[in-house]
Amino acid sequence: LLMLSNYISALAGGDTRASAAFRNSKLTKLLMESLCGTGYTMLLAALSPAERHFDETANTLYFASKCSNIQRQTQMNLTPHEKEVMALKATI
């Protein structure tokens, strides 16, 4: 989870070298398509109002706020044939 947190921090900070950081762990490698802009990702944060869980809740909220700062542009994954068809449709 530390590597995932480091990767999320790099993405949220706009680090251009973050694209290679997913190789640092199996979890980030597994989540590569979602984190690199070819899919949609949603984070569900589980919080507890209990005082004894305050530290975990604060850390979860901190992580969720870092995740909300990520700005990625998604792209359509098209085959060369589909790209050509779209270009031809645009010229009509």
pLDDT at 16: 59
Q: Retrieve residue 39's tokens.
A: 């899919």
| Whether 60 contacts 47, CB under 8 Å | yes
What predicted TM-score, i.e. pTM, was given to this entire model?
0.59
pLDDT digits (tens, 9 = 90+) for 31-68: 777 766 666 677 889 999 999 999 999 999 988 888 88
